[in-house]
Structure 1
Amino acid sequence: MMRRLGAEYGIGVADAHALWKQELAAGKTPESLLLNNINHPNDYGHGVYFSAFADLLGD
């Protein structure tokens, strides 16, 4: 839905969730991405979010 709305309105969508899932599929554990093991990313987890935003900026 977010991607569809982004395309419809010409707004970039930073899909951090997709990258997060890729990290988990590659063998990372949720605990290795979270600072409090509940919902707050650690430095590595913040890097995942940064990557999602950086993708919007291009090369």
Structure 2
Amino acid sequence: MAALAQTTFPQQPTGAAVNHARIEARLTATPQARTGASHFAALGPAGQQIDGA
């Protein structure tokens, strides 16, 4: 519980809003955004597609 003591009041509603958005996206099956390839994946062969999943 020590981490909660260091959280200031404006950070608590922000964290709750982010959690709410994540839960809503999960319940409505909203697709997640695609992210770029990692630096390690970028070292792979040029013609090979690497899926992040």
TM-score exceeds 0.5: no
Larger Rg: 2
Task: Point out the structure with the larger helix share.
Answer: 1
TM-score (norm 2): 0.31
TM-score (norm 1): 0.29
- Of the two structures, which has the highest relative contact order with CA contacts closer than 8 Å and spacing of 6 or more? 1
